[in-house]
Amino acid sequence: MAATLTFRISGQGEKLYGDGISLWLTQDKSYKAGSLHGVSPKFTGMGIIIDTFKNVEHGQKHRDVTIVFNDGTKVINLDDDEKLGCNIGKMRYHEERDDFSVFNTSRIRLMISPNKVLVEVDPEGENKWQTCLSVTDTDKRLPKDWLKKSR
């Protein structure tokens, strides 16, 4: 399975503009709101969290792109849990800059196979893909056939 998410994180503030977006692949049949970037921190599946703002309290733990896995038995806490992902840099756009365009976009590409998840990033939508994370032990992180089941 492969999916590409094209997005733009932008704003007009002088210092604070744009923040983040998340993509969730879960076994839930419908949306379950919660405190983990908008979803319940207890889920079965995976999430890709794109966070363009470096909060001081996260220090060295910050990742521009964070990938989380949950087999449904734990509650994810990003402050305490291992942070998988990468730091990419430019993935947000200031709308007041002269070089801003409605065509400014970033992309995330997700490729899932039975025991592997590959996440690539094209930060400025220029077809310059960078590997963010390759996880080859998804069978230890997720239940078997997690994408085929829904509850």
CATH number at residue 24: 2.60.120.200
In a domain, 151, yes or no: no
In a domain, 54, yes or no: yes
Range of the domain at 45: 2-141
In a domain, 148, yes or no: no
Each residue's pLDDT, cut to its tens digit, for the chain (151 residues) gives: 889 998 877 766 666 655 778 899 998 888 889 999 889 999 999 999 888 766 555 556 667 788 999 999 999 988 776 778 888 877 665 666 676 677 778 899 999 988 899 999 998 888 999 999 999 999 899 988 887 766 5
In a domain, 146, yes or no: no
In a domain, 25, yes or no: yes
In a domain, 149, yes or no: no
Measured between alpha carbons, how far is 151 from 141 in angstroms, rounded to an integer? 18
Q: What is the total count of domains within the chain?
A: 1
pTM of the model: 0.83
